[in-house]
């Protein structure tokens, strides 16, 4: 099976490298903001998480679904009334330039961030100066990709008419942080969050699929979830593999009787859950459909499967086959 991400964990502090900030490439140490920055005080920003995977045989770093991520990034910015001075092409150009300047030869995680950058106290969105930055850091697996133990969180997933759940809003992630921290402090790997109506929404920072009688099931975009890029990737792979899938509400107890459960997202990639609330999922090991999709995914993201070549943008322009 193709390897998942290799490299440092997401907990490693970032303290060096070249970043893109305020319209130019500059050292990480020069990309600073004021303690009074609006976004720091009020969470008025949006971001993306994008992975790039290194293929040593191709001597190429592949950005995964970069354009789709930046399309969502611009939609998030629109919701928060943030003016981003670049279109998708411009954002992709500067991302490739930043990665090339760092000369990465390993898997990396890319973080574009648009935010209200003015040093001011007023709680508002309109009339506040906007800033944009893009940085990256080497990163391996966000969580392990099989054998995850999860719990249903007591923290409820934020509703879209409270904080936009389909936008990656910086301030909204305290919701995920509270749920995830409680879960990990109790010995679990991840938290599963319910929406206000008591049905399954998603995991703390990833979308969730269950498998029942050979069918893939995931919650609809109206269930206060992030409209995941990797979620759409799973749909595409499932179609190619001949698996049926459906978007519908999922009850909490369906988690306990599912044959398979897996998480998907840029950070977690595609990770199998084998226990929920001290109950084994299926047989207690990663199921065959999850394993098949995971193997397909890890090959595709490194440019090893030409079927999914259009998912990838090469950084160095070699783009081996």
pLDDT digits (tens, 9 = 90+) for 140-182: 777 677 899 999 999 999 999 999 999 999 999 999 999 999 9
Domains and CATH numbers, the chain: 18-138 (3.30.470.10), 148-286 (3.20.10.10)
Annotated catalytic residue 81: no
Give the global pTM.
Answer: 0.94
Separation CA 116–CA 125 (nearest Å): 8
Q: Strand 60-64 to strand 130-138: parallel, antiparallel, or no bridges (unpaired)?
A: unpaired
Separation CA 144–CA 87 (nearest Å): 35
Separation CA 162–CA 63 (nearest Å): 33
Note the pLDDT of residue 146. 86
pLDDT digits (tens, 9 = 90+) for 226-278: 999 999 999 999 999 999 999 999 999 999 999 999 999 999 999 999 999 99
Smallest CA-to-CA distance from 143 within 211, 203, 76 is with 203
Beta carbons within 10 angstroms of residue 286's beta carbon: 22
Q: Strand 279-280 to strand 269-276: parallel, antiparallel, or no bridges (unpaired)?
A: antiparallel
Separation CA 184–CA 85 (nearest Å): 39
Smallest CA-to-CA distance from 68 within 219, 218, 235 is with 235
Cβ atoms of residues 266 and 49 within 8 Å: yes
Note the pLDDT of residue 1. 42
**List 122, 168, 239, 318, catalytic entry:** 168
pLDDT digits (tens, 9 = 90+) for 191-211: 999 999 999 999 999 999 999
């Amino acid at each position: 099976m193709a390897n998942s991400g290799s490299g440092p964990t997401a907990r490693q502090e970032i303290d060096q490298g070249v970043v893109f900030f305020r319209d130019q490439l500059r050292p990480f140490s020069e990309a600073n903001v004021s303690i009074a920055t609006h976004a720091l005080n009020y969470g008025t920003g949006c971001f993306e998480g994008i992975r790039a995977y290194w293929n040593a045989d191709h001597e190429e770093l592949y950005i995964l679904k970069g354009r789709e991520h930046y399309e969502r990034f611009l939609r998030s910015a629109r919701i928060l009334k943030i003016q981003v001075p670049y279109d998708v092409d411009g954002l992709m150009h500067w991302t490739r330039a930043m990665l090339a300047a760092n000369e990465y030869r390993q898997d990396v995680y890319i973080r574009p961030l648009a935010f209200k950058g003015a040093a001011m106290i007023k709680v508002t969105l309109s009339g506040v100066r906007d800033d944009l930055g893009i940085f990256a850091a080497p990163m391996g697996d966000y969580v392990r990709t099989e054998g995850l133990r999860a719990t249903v969180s007591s923290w409820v997933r934020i509703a879209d008419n409270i904080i936009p759940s389909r936008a990656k809003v910086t301030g909204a992630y305290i919701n995920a942080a509270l749920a995830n921290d409680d879960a990990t402090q109790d010995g679990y790997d991840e938290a599963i969050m319910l929406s206000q109506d008591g049905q399954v929404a998603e995991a703390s920072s990833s979308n969730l699929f269950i498998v029942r009688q050979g069918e893939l099931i995931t919650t609809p975009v109206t269930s206060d979830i992030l409209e995941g890029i990797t979620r759409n990737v799973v749909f595409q792979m499932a179609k190619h593999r001949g698996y049926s899938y459906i978007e519908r509400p999922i009850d909490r107890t369906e988690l306990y009787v599912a044959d398979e459960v897996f998480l998907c997202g840029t950070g977690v990639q595609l990770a199998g859950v084998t226990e929920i609330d001290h109950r084994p999922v299926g047989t207690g090991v990663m199921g065959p459909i999850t394993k098949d999709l995971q193997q397909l995914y890890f090959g595709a993201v490194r440019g090893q499967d030409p079927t999914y070549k259009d998912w990838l943008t090469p950084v160095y322009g070699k783009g081996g086959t």
